[in-house]
Amino acid sequence: MVKPRALGPGDRLAIVAPASPFSRDEFDRGVEELRALGFDPVYDDSVFAKARYLSGPADVRAAAIRRAWLDPSIAGVVAVRGGYGSAQVLPFLDRDEARHARKPFIGYSDLTSVLTFLTLGCELVAFHGPMLDRRLARGADGYDRESFLNAICRREPIGELAASGVETINAGEASGPIFGGTLTQLVSSLGTPFAFAPPGGYVLFLEEVGERPYRLDRMVTQLRQAGLLARAAAVVIGELPACDEPTGDPTARAVMADLFHDFPGPVLVGFPSGHTTGPSLTLPLGVRCRVVASARPCLVIEEAAVE
């Protein structure tokens, strides 16, 4: 894997909108948070484009990303929000430009499409981390500053990432490069030129929001039937907020426990990255990690994500 260059104080971060439109108030507060962290956020008027449920035409959204990669004054790229539309920009992106630029790309949710393009299509480490909308805009209530800065700025392994809500479904310990993101985007990519196709022995990270248990079952079943679970050494599942049945039974976690009961490696659930009820941890994708599924479950990032 190619690693992005580490970010530092004063670095210019390009703000892009590959998916849905957003609240200007959330945008402005997210910009202020990036400034408070010591970065210099920059953007042009194209970020505010709107076309129904999209932030402008796909080629315009993709062009903003490519400009950021090609501009030597830009050190990294962060997305505004998810929603829908990121998959549409993929045919307009250039793998060689992304690899040569070596710039951290930060996003989650619908941005899983771009994260997969970068990590598996370009073999470039990328970051399942906070966007402006609902995360950076809310400061310490929206995202975990320590893991964010350690991931994108520190030329050393992040080390242990643990949280009180993480539970063990299957006990054990395993290591491998971690790939994944939002479950809907992972399964939507299958059968396309941008398919989620990780190597054998990988750690699967998956998370979701607002999907009822039977829909989670359907998507995990698709991953299984596509052979993607058989390649995995371990599985790390997110918090799954708003995914329980409206009546409360079954819960999303109970369904995941059933779906992964026969998985041969360790499985964790409740890892707070992406869609979370509290501060979201930043997870570098494409680096080696160790999954510890025990009485004290955690994820250990064993490799630096930047250099």
The residues near 141 (Cβ < 8 Å, ≥ 6 apart) are 278, 279
**CA–CA gap between residue 241 and residue 87 (Å, rounded):** 23
pLDDT digits over 174-229, tens only?
999 999 999 999 999 999 999 999 999 999 999 999 999 999 999 999 999 999 99
Domain check: are 132 and 192 in the same one? no
**Residue 16 banded pLDDT, cuts 50, 70, 90:** very high
Distances (CA, A) of 76 to 70, 79, 127, 170: 11, 10, 11, 37
Q: Are residues 163 and 149 in the same domain?
A: no
Rounded CA separation 107/143 (Å): 12
Same domain for 295 and 168: yes
Domain match, 129 and 68 both: yes
Q: What's the pLDDT score for residue 214?
A: 98
pLDDT in tens, 95-114: 999 999 999 999 999 999 99
Q: CATH no. for residue 70?
A: 3.40.50.10740
Q: Token pair for residue 81?
A: 């929000």
Within 10 A of 34 (CB to CB), how many other CB atoms are there? 18
Question: Based on the number of CB atoms within 10 Å of its own CB, is 245 exposed (0-12), middle (13-18) or buried (19 or more)?
Answer: middle
**What single-letter DSSP state applies at residue 119?**
I
Does 171 fall in a domain?
yes
| Average confidence score pLDDT of the chain | 98
Same structural domain, 144 and 166:
no
Q: Are residues 232 and 212 in the same domain?
A: yes
The percent of residues above 90 in pLDDT, for the chain, comes to: 100
Could you read off the pLDDT of 1-11 as tens digits, one per residue?
A: 999 999 999 99
Q: Write down the pLDDT at residue 261.
A: 95
pLDDT single digits (tens) 242-272: 999 999 999 999 999 999 999 999 999 999 9
Let me know: does 13 contact 76? Beta carbons within 8 Å. yes
Which of 83, 118, 153 lies at the terminal end of a domain, its last residue? 153
Give the residue from 153, 185, 209 where a domain finishes. 153
Residues 133 and 191 in one domain: no
Cα angle 301, 255, 196; round to 5 = 50
282-293 pLDDT per residue, tens: 999 999 999 999
Looking at this protein, which amino acid is placed at residue 206? L
**149 falls within a domain:** yes
How many whole angstroms separate alpha carbon 158 and alpha carbon 146? 10
Of 299, 119, 290, give the one whose Cα is nearest residue 198: 119
Distance of alpha carbon 284 from alpha carbon 143, whole angstroms: 15
Name the domain count of the chain: 2
Could you tell me the pTM of the whole model?
A: 0.97
Neighbours of 201 (CB within 10 A): 14
Residue 206 counted as domain residue = yes
Looking at 119, 153, 187, which one is the last position of a domain?
153
Specify the 3-state DSSP secondary structure of 169.
Answer: strand
Tell me: do 133 and 164 sit in the same domain.
no
Whether 120 and 139 map to the same domain: the answer is yes
Percent of the chain with pLDDT over 70: 100
- Alpha helix (H) ranges present in 236-296? 252-259
Which of these, 180, 127, 116, 182, lies nearest to 149 by C-alpha position? 127
| CATH, residue 198 | 3.50.30.60
Residue 143: closest CA among 250, 255, 272 = 272
Question: CA torsion sign, 260 to 125 to 197 to 64?
Answer: positive
| pLDDT at position 123 | 98
Are 190 and 294 in a shared domain? yes
Q: What mean pLDDT comes out for the span 221-240?
A: 98
Chain centre to alpha carbon of residue 227: 22
Q: Which two tokens stand for residue 217?
A: 């079952």
Residue 221: per-residue pLDDT: 98
Cβ contacts of residue 112 below 8 Å, gap of 6+?
A: 86, 128, 180, 181, 182, 185, 186
CB 1 within 8 A of CB 287: yes
Structural domain includes residue 139: yes
Catalytic residues: 109, 207, 275
pLDDT recorded at residue 116: 98
User: Are both 212 and 79 inside the same structural domain?
Assistant: no
Residue numbers of the domain that contains 124: 12-153
Residue given tokens 């050190």 in the structure block: 75
